Amino acid sequence: MPEEQKPAGRKPRSEKNNPAGVMPDRPQPHAQNIERAVLAALIRDASGCLDTARSFFKDRVTVFYTPAHREIYETILELGTDDAKQVDLLSVAQRLREKNKLDAVGGDVFLAELEMAISTSVNIETWCRQLVKYDNLRQMIAVCSESLLSCYDADQDADTVLDDVEKKIFAIRSAEMGEAIRPISELLENELMELVRINKGEVEVGLKTGYDTVDEYTGGLKRGEMFILAARPSIGKTSLALNIIRNIATGPNAKPVGFFSLEMSESQIVRRLLCTQAGVPENKFWNHEFDMAQIQRMTGAAKLLSEAKIYIDPTGGLSIAELRAKARRMRMLHGVELVVIDYIGLMTSGQRSENRQVEIQQISGAIKRLAKELNIPFLVLAQLNREVDKNSSPNAKPKLANLRDSGSIEQDADVVTFLHRDREKSKGNVTSAEALWIVEKNRNGRTGDVKLNFLPDRMEFELAPRVDSNYGPEPGKN
């Protein structure tokens, strides 16, 4: 009898057992130099880069194609579980030695060469994004290879194979996209119950700033929102921000707050908080005019503030990448409920740009996305341009067009407010000066003006007494 003919296109059983044999001579997509760059960044600056890597890679160690690189990354994750500061060249080498894996990855010499693979970690996000892309491609190769072999199996149902392929491909896409698309029917019940809880007072709409009239119209500082506080220099926006931080981080309903100060040192910030809380002018200490009563008030203020969970980062020229990494870390380790940035004009995008407006646009958009990702409010300070000062009218108030550098801040922000006052009226021995906190944009509420009193000696703002119908946001203005 003639030899039995094999079905056309049917692969031998030996090839079916080797999915990678579809293209046996081609290496899978990867980039060793980028893998080395990411590992070098993690070893050199784990505190600034590890959270970034985690956010991109999630729980996937397969983003590292080379087994030695994968082992090193897993070791870095082990060391950085509790404190990223524990990660450095010596600690990584020692942990690998303890696991008897040091020689397998290339030894001390390889790790030393790895650390010197980059000069800066500024491009860590770009590198992480590329490694995720290559890992996705490798996963697609595996899925397609398995699917190809399934198609050659005559016992398989075509619809079953197609359904299985679709599920695996969409699983890869879903892992990359993170959040799943959900129908409104699944969301309505939760949101309705949340509104009922808010109405009953069981849930706060947002963090209370301590300025009740503003909170009545903005709902406070709400989760996932970007709240702008803008003013001309020396008007007091930092003082007002510190007042808000103190109000939120102290008292019976205290919440942890992270403060990124690009303009003031941590010493200046702490001193300002102390003097404001104690009600003691800072110049009393410069001029050696303080007395025992004031010292006692300062001691009491220090005790109160020592219990507050305020986390200060005074990094100058903070970049977007650094902000992301540090804010994520503050959220993860300290549970911060609010991030304050003073101020956006001193931040950098981390990329070369000849157009400052474009750079501010990148920074503003990144802050808004980070607020949504961490699900906490971001209070962002900004400066106004000089056009405000050029207005001849003494009662002229700032407008959205006065935001410095870019209108993208206005577009990205959920709430835009301005602090406005006459600086001349605060000079000399003045104990109190009028100020306005202007709610100029409010995506989910009304706008208008709130009257404040500024106390120059204490660098503190207080709500002015309600004396007329003009107090508070203008009725009906949206």
The domain boundary residue, chosen from 155, 177, 199? 177
Q: What's residue 53's pLDDT?
A: 85
Place of tokens 């870019």: 406
Overall domain count for the chain: 2
Q: What's residue 15's pLDDT?
A: 45
The domain boundary residue, chosen from 127, 157, 177? 177
Q: What's residue 7's pLDDT?
A: 42
For 327-346, b/e burial (b = at least 16 CB within 10 A) is bbbbbeeeebbbbbbbbbbb
Would residue 450 count as lying in a domain?
yes
Indicate whether 293 and 164 sit together in one domain.
Answer: no
The domain boundary residue, chosen from 177, 200, 231? 177
Task: Write out the two tokens for 349.
Answer: 């995008």
| Interatomic CA distance for residues 394 and 424, integer angstroms | 12
Indicate whether 422 and 297 sit together in one domain.
Answer: yes
Indicate whether 167 and 282 sit together in one domain.
Answer: no
Residue type, 251: G
Would residue 270 count as lying in a domain?
yes
pLDDT tens across the length of the chain (478 residues):
444 444 444 444 444 444 445 555 677 888 889 999 999 988 888 877 888 888 788 778 889 998 999 999 988 888 877 565 678 888 888 888 988 888 888 888 888 888 888 888 888 888 998 998 898 888 888 888 888 877 777 677 776 777 677 667 766 665 655 555 567 777 777 778 877 877 777 667 788 988 988 888 888 899 999 999 998 888 889 999 999 999 998 878 889 999 999 988 888 888 888 888 887 777 666 666 666 777 788 888 888 888 888 899 888 888 887 888 788 888 888 889 999 998 888 888 876 667 778 888 888 888 998 898 888 999 999 888 776 666 655 567 787 877 766 667 888 889 999 998 877 666 666 677 888 899 988 888 788 888 998 888 788 888 888 655 455 554 444 4
Would residue 252 count as lying in a domain?
yes
Task: Write out the two tokens for 12.
Answer: 């031998």
Indicate whether 378 and 453 sit together in one domain.
Answer: yes
Q: What's residue 304's pLDDT?
A: 84
Domain that holds residue 278: 212-463
CATH (domain of 317): 3.40.50.300
Q: What's residue 3's pLDDT?
A: 43
Would residue 202 count as lying in a domain?
no
Indicate whether 111 and 238 sit together in one domain.
Answer: no
Indicate whether 169 and 237 sit together in one domain.
Answer: no
| Interatomic CA distance for residues 385 and 398, integer angstroms | 9
Would residue 7 count as lying in a domain?
no
The pLDDT tens digits for 153-195 are 767 777 677 767 766 776 666 565 555 556 777 777 777 887 7
Phi (first) and psi of residue 421, to 5 degrees: -160, 170
Indicate whether 236 and 279 sit together in one domain.
Answer: yes
Would residue 223 count as lying in a domain?
yes
This prediction's pTM: 0.64
Indicate whether 305 and 262 sit together in one domain.
Answer: yes
| Interatomic CA distance for residues 218 and 443, integer angstroms | 9
| Interatomic CA distance for residues 196 and 402, integer angstroms | 39
Indicate whether 216 and 164 sit together in one domain.
Answer: no
Indicate whether 170 and 224 sit together in one domain.
Answer: no
Three-state SS annotation for the chain: CCCCCCCCCCCCHHHHCCHHHHCCCCCCCCCHHHHHHHHHHHHHCHHHHHHHHHHHHCCCCCCCCCHHHHHHHHHHHHHCCCCHHHCCHHHHHHHHHHCCCHHHHCHHHHHHHHHCCCCCCCCHHHHHHHHHHHHHHHHHHHHHHHHHHHHHCCCCCHHHHHHHHHHHHHHHHHHHHCCCCCCHHHHHHHHHHHHHHHHCCCCCCCECCCCHHHHHHHCCECCCCEEEEEECCCCCHHHHHHHHHHHHHCCCCCCCEEEEECCCCHHHHHHHHHHHHHCCCCHHHHCCCCCHHHHHHHHHHHHHHHCCCEEEECCCCCEHHHHHHHHHHHHHHHCCCEEEEECHHHCECCCCCCCHHHHHHHHHHHHHHHHHHHCCCEEEEEEECCHHHHCCCCCCCCCHHHECCCCHHHHHCCEEEEEEECHHHHCCCCCCEEEEEEEEEECCCCCEEEEEEEECCCCEEEECCCCCCCCCCCCCCC
Q: What's residue 182's pLDDT?
A: 67
| Interatomic CA distance for residues 432 and 450, integer angstroms | 16
Would residue 157 count as lying in a domain?
yes
Indicate whether 104 and 250 sit together in one domain.
Answer: no
Place of tokens 């790790």: 111
| Interatomic CA distance for residues 177 and 170, integer angstroms | 10
Indicate whether 157 and 249 sit together in one domain.
Answer: no
CATH (domain of 130): 1.10.860.10
Would residue 470 count as lying in a domain?
no
Residue of 19, 29, 20, 23 whose CA lies nearest to 132: 29
